[in-house]
Structure 1
Amino acid sequence: MFNTMDLLIQSLFTVMVLVIIALIVFWFIQDVTQKKHSVLRNYPVIGRLRYFFEQQGKYFRQYFFSNDRDEMPFNRATRNWIYRHSKDKGGVVGFGSTNDLREPGSIIFVNAAFPILEEDQLPPPPMLIGEGYAKYPFVAKSIINISGMSYGAISKPAVRALSLGAVNAGCWLNTGEGGLASYHLEGKCDVIMQIGTAKYGIRDERGNLSPQRAKALGEVVKAFEIKLSQGAKPGKGGLLPGDKITEDIAAIRGIPAFRDSISPNRHKDIDNIDELLEKINYLRELTGRPVGIKTAIGGWHFINELCDCIISKGLDYAPDFISIDGGEGGSGAAPQTLLDYVSLPISEALPRVVDSLIESNLKDRIRVVAAGKLVTAAHGAWALCAGADFVNTARGFMFSLGCIQALRCHKNTCPTGVTTHNPRLQNGLVVEEKSVRVTNYARNFNKEVNMIAHSCGLRHAREFKREHVRIVETAGKSIAMNMLYPYPEGK
């Protein structure tokens, strides 16, 4: 019996050794005969370790070598803040902060000597979007909201969890440019329908805006958002690899399945600001819903001309809201050159846009939504100080769904099921569990924004002004935001 077992083990071991030797010989011949990689030709087999460690290096840095505040695009401290609040475990830490307040760009809130007592604190009032101009104004209750992520870029269970979580948190859910899916409506939350350059989900057979489809969508969504550009890829249309375009996604978008989806780099029926405002007014009159725009900012010419054109044409033509996306945005696939070097960061773009609206006396007419790595309560409070009315985040909610920053969003191999259409990988995202985390993240975000406001002596977060935050310019020296960006006078 034992002799037979020993022989079997020895045979298996021999077979394994022979297989390994055969693989090494195969790789050796393959490496020395290929012509693409010099390292492999000079160092066959062993040279493969170079490519393996290069690929795995980002994960080793993420978990073992980088400090809590070092990593990009989101460091470990930021991710852990989101994870804790998504699990409703609170934001209390011990023994002091690891945030270096001497770092240029750091934000410091101006605490009051006598903060607001609990009995004097108030909840932030909801804000109306489109009041007096849209037939059905939109009542927005939450400061933090879910930014545009298309069904296709993210998975079906991810969309379902976001929808179910959003309704309990009282925040809105932006569809992204991929069109409205039934999964967006599953939780009966407030939905904003984004109209991208390809007009997915709202176009006719020729790819043009369909009035009939727009009216039908107006029955179920709260508002429309015309996307001019986004911070991740300004001047470039949406990108969705063919292996992520299932039959279901293709039917919603009105495109062929399993073929790369590349949207035009801008709307073909909108050539200038005047045509943009005409389109906004047309869509609002057609659907009765508020209509806004989303754009990244490259300079002041666009926003100044937009304000001048609105004053010339009348307030009926103004967008009901403007979503400003910083150049640091990007939850999906984008060329690295555009990600790294094009469009202003939200820290500069947001106050400048708000200044233009104030100068033109349009700030009360147009709501401002800020986006671009604003995933924590501190960043949300900064945005309100700068003049935003709301904060949008995509990646913050992706983290609440379980995203581990695997940096595979553009592939179909997301290990947490958030951005993949592989059924096996999607199985890891349990909708009922993750929807609770979406709710917790939004609620705790709003709660801590208000906590900062109370510390600054304010009754609620909508009382924030620029004088309530300071920006570090050099080590050991900060400047009040109202000095860095003085409030302009209206015309």
Structure 2
Amino acid sequence: MFDDVFALKLLTILVLIFVTLIGVGLLTVAAMYVVDVTQRKHTIRRNYPVIGRFRYWFEHLGEFFRQYFFAMDREEMPFNRAERAWVYRAAKNLDLNLAFGSTRDLNPSGTVLFLNSAFPTLEQDAAIPSAVTVGPYCRHPYTTSAFFHISGMSYGALSAPAVRALSRGAAKAGCWLNTGEGGLSPFHEEGGGDLVFQLGTAKYGARDLDGKLSDEKLIQLSAKESVKMFEIKLSQGAKPGKGGILPAEKVSAEIAAIRGIPEGHPSISPNGHPDIRSVDDLLDMIDHIRQVTGKPVGFKTVLGDKQWLRDMVAAIRIRGVDRAPDFITLDSADGGTGAAPQPLMDYVGLPLKESLPWLCNLLSEAGLKERVRVIASGKLINPSMVAWAIACGADFVTSARGFMFSLGCIQAMQCHKNTCPTGVTTHDPKLQRGLDPTDKAERVAHYQRNLTYSVGLIAHACGVPEPRLLRRHHVHMVLQSGLSQPLNELYPEPITLIENGEDSPALDSKPKEVTHE
């Protein structure tokens, strides 16, 4: 009897809860209906009250459903599933071999093919990448054998755990980490590896109270053993002609202190350096920072107009080779960032496949190729494209999004919203909790090492013992006809002044002895 009464009461309670929920649901739908038919901003909702609201939800979810259910392995942008999957496997140090043939279509125009040699280099003959020196005229030149490095990503755009993982991973792999334009944070230094300090248009981390470049700050930065080079950022691929953008919700007290800006306000850099308005200004700035710090100084740009670089080469001929930039980081129009206006991201700047061979040819023609090192950046996350860049003439390759994938990025396209589900680009502690810097540092190092090894596989197949010996004649590119053509015919390598038996007015045979007061 007691059990029957209890069961009846429980059933009554459940029915009441059910009826209440239905009532609340009906009232909510009724309220939404009234709001939709009376509002005048959204036509779909006014014409199709309540139901029209699902359109926005489906639109938001569409990119996620396409990624997992509808897009083919080679279809997605900016990086397809096959590209991301290779990085994930490399970062986890899993087997990188596949079975039953490639899913890559070899017919589209622009497809890169490497020419295998009949007599490939044997593994026992393979050499480690040769060392390259940057800044031979500096008091403190920088030498490294690594050719694949971490591109500029600021603390602020990235979370603290993400930067800590990159710092530790870079030290383990023996590559450098670029600080990005947001200044040098303790998290960049945590791993103890090599750093490149990026100087953006707002001079974050190296500015005085008026926002101008501070020699005192530069001296403090150069005193750090980990800071190996300085990079002046003129522009970047996703937003050429636009400065860095960090939303107000990401500007915490800590980030504000590192950058030297007010807390809680958007951090928007100028679209250009106010004190660099010409080629001469740029060379003066490079030389000034080099004199103050004693370390290599170069600049980062995405190529658009080419005449200014021709003017720069002409100015170097007059000033002397010791006044040249120590390196140029060339970004691609399809480079990435956390936040950028879509018109700039989609339509401005030249892609690396066109700009990189051109820049390397310009420097070679002037006899400056060994003096001014070229760093290629922009959507180079897989071995094939890194090998292509080296064959075109790049001395180094840097990647940001590739290393973001190694941290666990799933291309959720939420970088600028502080809602990154993997904790890479958010300052929400709940979302950051899933990113373990210790584990992800190992993945960063695995990715760098496995990519380096895989580029070596391509080099050995082409018959050269190490990647830096790859040349354009090792590469074919597919044309619209479906047939391929050697890269050295599409982009002929110039005969330099020295190779032609002439003296180059821009290049001395060896660095002069540099004296400093």
Query: Do both share a fold (TM > 0.5)?
Result: yes
Q: Give the CA deviation at 1:35.
A: 1.1
Aligned to 1:377: 383
2:165 is the alignment partner of 1:161: yes
Listed as ranges, the matches of 1:138-287 within 5 Å are 138-220=142-224, 221-287=227-293
Return the alpha-carbon distance in structure 2 between the equivalents of residues 13 and 212 of structure 1: 70
Q: Give the CA deviation at 1:140.
A: 2.2
Aligned to 1:326: 332
Q: Give the CA deviation at 1:9.
A: 1.2
Correspondent of 1:352 among 355, 358, 361: 358
Q: Give the CA deviation at 1:403.
A: 0.2
Aligned to 1:368: 374
Aligned to 1:111: 116
The answer to whether the 8 A contact 1:300-1:352 is kept is no
Query: SS of the counterpart of 2:479?
Result: strand
Letter in 2 for 1:166: A
2:469 is the alignment partner of 1:463: yes
Letter in 2 for 1:367: R
Letter in 2 for 1:6: L
304-313 or 268-277: bigger deviation: 304-313
2:454 is the alignment partner of 1:454: no
Return the alpha-carbon distance in structure 2 between the equivalents of residues 326 and 476 of structure 1: 25
Return the alpha-carbon distance in structure 2 between the equivalents of residues 69 and 305 of structure 1: 41
Aligned to 1:411: 417
Query: SS of the counterpart of 1:295?
Result: strand
Q: How many residue pairs get matched?
A: 490
Q: Give the CA deviation at 1:470.
A: 0.5
Query: SS of the counterpart of 2:102?
Result: coil
Q: Give the CA deviation at 1:271.
A: 1.1
Aligned to 2:484: 478
Aligned to 1:27: 32
Q: Give the CA deviation at 1:7.
A: 1.4
The answer to whether the 8 A contact 1:145-1:392 is kept is yes
Q: Give the CA deviation at 1:489.
A: 2.1
Query: SS of the counterpart of 1:368?
Result: strand
Aligned to 1:134: 138
Letter in 1 for 2:432: Q
Query: SS of the counterpart of 1:474?
Result: coil
292-301 or 158-167: bigger deviation: 292-301
Return the alpha-carbon distance in structure 2 between the equivalents of residues 22 and 435 of structure 1: 51
Correspondent of 1:10 among 15, 18, 35: 15
2:68 is the alignment partner of 1:66: no
Q: Give the CA deviation at 1:488.
A: 1.1
Return the alpha-carbon distance in structure 2 between the equivalents of residues 104 and 299 of structure 1: 25
Aligned to 2:46: 41
Give the TM-score of the pair, scaled to structure 2.
0.94
Return the alpha-carbon distance in structure 2 between the equivalents of residues 305 and 22 of structure 1: 71
The answer to whether the 8 A contact 1:140-1:172 is kept is no
- Name which one, 1 or 2, has greater alpha-carbon Rg: 2
2:86 is the alignment partner of 1:81: yes
Return the alpha-carbon distance in structure 1 between the equivalents of residues 347 and 177 of structure 2: 29
| Structure 1 residues 90 and 302: alpha-carbon distance in aligned structure 2, compared to 1, 3 A threshold | farther
Query: SS of the counterpart of 1:292?
Result: strand
Q: Give the CA deviation at 1:125.
A: 1.4
Spell out, residue by residue over 1:247-299, the C-alpha distance to the aligned partner (whole angstroms, 9 max, x if none). 11011001111111110010001110111101111111101110010000003
Return the alpha-carbon distance in structure 2 between the equivalents of residues 217 and 83 of structure 1: 34
Aligned to 1:99: 104
Q: Give the CA deviation at 1:90.
A: 2.7
Return the alpha-carbon distance in structure 2 between the equivalents of residues 475 and 123 of structure 1: 38
Spell out, residue by residue over 1:73-122, the C-alpha distance to the aligned partner (whole angstroms, 9 max, x if none). 00000000000000000311111101111111110000001101111111
Letter in 1 for 2:423: G
Query: SS of the counterpart of 1:275?
Result: helix
Return the alpha-carbon distance in structure 1 between the equivalents of residues 412 and 55 of structure 2: 20
Return the alpha-carbon distance in structure 1 between the equivalents of residues 390 and 278 of structure 2: 30
The answer to whether the 8 A contact 1:236-1:266 is kept is yes
Letter in 2 for 1:341: Y
Letter in 1 for 2:200: G
Spell out, residue by residue over 1:316-368, the C-alpha distance to the aligned partner (whole angstroms, 9 max, x if none). 21111100000000121000000000000010010000000001000000110
Question: Percent identity among equivalent residues?
Answer: 52
Letter in 2 for 1:335: P
Return the alpha-carbon distance in structure 1 between the equivalents of residues 28 and 78 of structure 2: 38
Letter in 2 for 1:152: G
The answer to whether the 8 A contact 2:472-2:488 is kept is yes
Structure 1 gap segments, 5+ residues each: none
2:399 is the alignment partner of 1:389: no
Query: SS of the counterpart of 1:145?
Result: strand
The answer to whether the 8 A contact 1:116-1:454 is kept is yes
Return the alpha-carbon distance in structure 2 between the equivalents of residues 474 and 91 of structure 1: 31
Spell out, residue by residue over 1:157-203, the C-alpha distance to the aligned partner (whole angstroms, 9 max, x if none). 00000000000000100000000001100000100000000000000
Structure 2 gap segments, 5+ residues each: 1-5, 498-517
Aligned to 1:55: 60
Q: CA RMSD in A?
A: 0.8
Correspondent of 1:343 among 345, 349, 366: 349
Q: Give the CA deviation at 1:307.
A: 1.2
Query: SS of the counterpart of 1:193?
Result: strand
158-167 or 296-305: bigger deviation: 296-305
Letter in 1 for 2:419: T
471-480 or 46-55: bigger deviation: 471-480
The answer to whether the 8 A contact 2:387-2:467 is kept is yes
Query: SS of the counterpart of 1:95?
Result: coil
Return the alpha-carbon distance in structure 2 between the equivalents of residues 172 and 14 of structure 1: 63
The answer to whether the 8 A contact 2:109-2:482 is kept is no
Correspondent of 1:297 among 274, 299, 303: 303
Query: SS of the counterpart of 1:446?
Result: helix
Give the TM-score of the pair, scaled to structure 1.
0.99
Q: Give the CA deviation at 1:475.
A: 4.7
Query: SS of the counterpart of 1:111?
Result: coil
Return the alpha-carbon distance in structure 2 between the equivalents of residues 289 and 4 of structure 1: 81
Return the alpha-carbon distance in structure 1 between the equivalents of residues 248 and 456 of structure 2: 43
2:472 is the alignment partner of 1:489: no
Return the alpha-carbon distance in structure 2 between the equivalents of residues 431 and 233 of structure 1: 29
Query: SS of the counterpart of 2:231?
Result: strand
